[in-house]
Amino acid sequence: MASATDFIFTFGSDLTDPNVMGTGAVSGTVTGRIVGLTDNATSSAQSVFIDSFSPNAGASVPVDARLWFSQFENSFTVQNGVITSAVFHADNDFSASLDRLYINVPIYGAGGTNYASVGSNNSTSVWNNQGLFGITFTRIDTAVPEPATWMMMLIGFGAIGFAARRSRVRVLGPA
C-alpha cells in the first residue's frame, strides 16, 4: 500500500537561549500540520499549515505557509513513520499580512531554528533554536489503497450483493 504520511507539529519559544532573546522574541507556541509526505523517502510537503499560533496578532489561521510568496526550502525525510530530517523555510515577502515560518533552518550556526512570525514585518514571533529537538512531530496515518485493493473490494461487494439476492430468491420461492 502506498502511504501519504501527514504529521502534526508543535514548537514553542525557548527564552533561555540568548540568541532568541536577542531577536526580541515574544513567548508563544505554534501548532500545525505537514501534509503529503512519502514514508521511507525524502519528499516535499504538499502543504504546511499553521493551525494555531500564540501570541496571535490577528493572523487568520489555518494558513498554508507553502503557498506564501517565497518558498526557499521544503524537504522532509520520513523513515518508518518518523520524521528524521526536516528543512522548511517560507516567507511572505515581509510586506503582506502573514510572514515567516521556519522549521529546522540553520540561522545561528549551531543546529536549526524553528520560528513563526505570523504577523507583518516580524511584528510577532516565536523562536526556538533547538532544531529537530525543539519540535514535536506526531504522525497522522492516511493510507491510500492501491488499484488491486480497490478491485478486490469491488469483487467482494459484488459477491455479497449476489449472495444477498440469491438468499432473497430462496426465501420468496420461485415465481
- What is the pLDDT, as a whole number, of residue 16? 82
Give pLDDT tens digits for 118-163: 766 566 778 888 889 999 999 986 555 566 666 677 776 677 777 7
pTM for this model (two decimals): 0.73
Which three three-digit cell numbers place residue 69?
A: 510568496
pLDDT of residue 108 exceeding 70, the answer is: no
**Cβ of 149: how many Cβ atoms within 10 Å?**
12
DSSP state of 40: T
- What is the pLDDT, as a whole number, of residue 2? 47
Residue 28, CB-side half-sphere exposure with 13 Å CA sphere: 20
pLDDT of residue 36 exceeding 90, the answer is: yes
Mean pLDDT of 40-58: 85
* Cis before 174? omega within 30: no
pLDDT of residue 58 exceeding 80, the answer is: no
- In whole numbers, what is the pLDDT of the chain averaged over residues? 79
- What is the pLDDT, as a whole number, of residue 92? 75
